[in-house]
Amino acid sequence: MLVQTHEYCSVPSQDHDYGMEDYGKGVARWCPGCGGHSILTTVQRVCKDMQYEPEKTVVVSGIGCSGRFPHYMGTYGFHGLHGRAFPVASGVKFRRPDLNVFVVTGDGDCCSIGAAHWVHAIRYNMKMVALLFDNGIYGLTKKQTSPTSPLGTHSNTHPRGSVLPPINPIQTTLGLANVSFVAQTVDWNSAHLYATIRKAAEHPGLAFVRIVQRCPAFMRDLYGDIAVNPKNLILLSHENGINLKPKARKAFGRVIEHDPSNIHKAREHAEINNGIPIGLLYQNTDNARYDEYGAHNLGMGVEEKKQNLECLLDQYTTSNSV
């Protein structure tokens, strides 16, 4: 299938038909039952369905369980530093509009050590898909409190229960300047997960997707009930939102009509706490895009550069002038 959603989106070459195997490599070494597995398969499916050229696709991650993600992709990858996926991804994209960029980040990675970059990446609004793997805990380092851990979470750093209310990542993102796409989904509903990441990939700007992720190793109880009973999910539905086939819709106990152009309503829904609202909370395709600024003067030839440099040097040249 050919989809060209934006001028910068790569047009797949006709002589190729990429299959799932082109996007996968090795066996993911996450715990059995970890939400990471389904997210990986879904991203690979989206890449395949978008027919992204693997060599023109870059997955950038930070450090954490989620940070391993690029190693399992058949694309280019950048497994960088804890908290710093956004700056690297932004640098990759800034002068390479031809690349498809994904950012994979954990809740500690994004909302704690990398929080400054999160704020600014939203504001830069460069075309890329940012996936927040929110398992509400530090997984890789073995169960420390995360900024998204629910109040009272028992962890190795708060054995008597965490003492601060958590950050709500979608609420926070909805409050950031130049925000253009905020969606929420869960790792265990593959239809919704796929539709969300697909919608994100088609968004002309930074698409921020919080994925509620199960971590059976350390947070078995957190989403256990919810995962078993789909009635705990609240589907945000709209013709401009994330659309599911009628059959898939039926699984949801509650459906709320929500127009994703309405940021005030989006903020209201983000605060729902008697269930998890999933769907497209907000989208605006008209926001300023920093990658367009970054690419505005690409492709200048060596001759022209040299000429202009000589002109600049003229301004500083002393003898023979004046």
Partner 1 sequence: MDYIVSSDILNEGDRIKPRKIKQAIVEIVSDSGEGAQKCGQSFGAISAKMGNGVWTVEIIPAEIQPPARSREGASGIRVRIGSDKVTNMGNHADLVIALNEQVVYGRIRQDAYNGNTLMFIENKWAKSEQETIRQQYSEALLKFKELGIKVVEIPMEEECLKLMPDPRKGKNMWILGLLSYMYDRDIPKAEDQIRRIFKKKTDAVIDLNIKLLHAGYDWARENLPFRYEVTPMDVDNDMVVMNGNEALSMGIMASGIELCSMYPITPATSVSHHLAENFERVGGIVHQAEDEISAIGFAIGASFAGKPAVTVTSGPGLALKTEFIGLAVMAEIPLVIIDVQRGGPSTGLPTKVEQSDLLAAIYGEAGDAPKIVLAAATIEECFHFVVLARKLAESFRTPVILLSDANLATGVQPFPRPKIDPLWLTNPIDQSPWKDGAGPFEWDENTGTSKRPIPGQKGGMYTVTGLAHGKTGKVAYDPEINQASVESRSRKIASFQKSLKPPKINGDPEGDILLVGWGSTLGAIEEAVADARAEGLKVSSLHLRFLFPIVPGLVDIFNRFKKVITVEINYSDTLGHPMITQENRRYAQLAWLLRAKTHMDIDCFSNVYGQPLNPEKVLKMIKSELKIENSEVKG
Give the footprint of ligand SF4 on this chain (CB under 6 A). Answer: 30-31, 34, 36, 65, 135, 139, 215-218
Among 73, 195, 215, 281, binds partner 1 (CB under 8 A): 73
Using CB under 8 A, which of the segments 44-52, 183-191, 260-268, 291-299 binds partner 1?
291-299
Q: How far apart are CA 233 and CA 274, in angstroms?
A: 9
- Element holding 169 (H helix, E strand): helix 169-174
Smallest separation, CB 178 to ligand TPP (Å): 24
Question: For residues 49 and 251, what is the distance between their CA atoms, to the nearest angstrom?
Answer: 25
- The answer to whether 132 and 107 are in contact (CB under 8 A) is yes
Which of 28, 140, 226, 255 forms a contact with ligand TPP (CB under 6 A)?
140
Distance CA 23, CA 47 (A): 7
Residue 252 to residue 97: CA distance in whole angstroms: 38
Compute the least distance from the CB of residue 106 to ligand SF4, in Å: 8
Q: Within 13 A of 253's CA, how many CA atoms are on the CB side? A: 13
- Cα angle, residue 93 at apex, residues 66 and 199 outer, rounded to 5°: 65
Are 72 and 47 in contact, with CB atoms under 8 Å apart? no
53 touches ligand TPP by CB under 6 A? no
Cα torsion 98, 50, 194, 267: sign? positive
Nearest approach, Cβ of 213 to ligand TPP (angstroms)?
A: 8
Backbone angles phi, psi at 70, to 5 degrees: -60, -30
Nearer to partner 1, 206 or 270 (CB): 206
What whole-number distance in Å separates Cα of residue 319 and Cα of residue 97? 43
- Classify 1 as helix, strand or coil: coil
The residues facing 59 across adjacent strands are 77, 102
With CB under 5 to 8 Å by kind, the binding choice for 55 among partner 1, ligand TPP, ligand SF4, none is partner 1
Give the residue with the Cβ less far from ligand SF4, 53 or 187: 187
How near is the Cβ of 68 to partner 1 at its closest, in Å?
Answer: 8
Interface residue with ligand TPP among 39, 46, 60, 65 (CB under 6 A) is 65
82 binds ligand TPP (CB under 6 A): yes
Say whether 184 sits in a helix, a strand or coil: strand
Q: Which stretch binds partner 1 (CB under 8 A): 90-98, 156-164, 179-187, 245-253?
A: 90-98
Site mask, partner 1, residues 95-134, x = CB under 8 A? xx-xx----------------xx-xx--------------
C-alpha span between 106 and 22 (Å, rounded): 25
Q: Which is nearer to ligand SF4, 28 or 255 (CB)?
A: 28
Interface residue list for ligand TPP (CB under 6 A): 63-66, 82, 106-109, 133, 135, 137-141, 146
Interface residue list for partner 1 (CB under 8 A): 54-56, 58-60, 70-71, 73-81, 84, 86-96, 98-99, 116-117, 119-120, 293-294, 296-300, 302-306, 308-313, 316-322
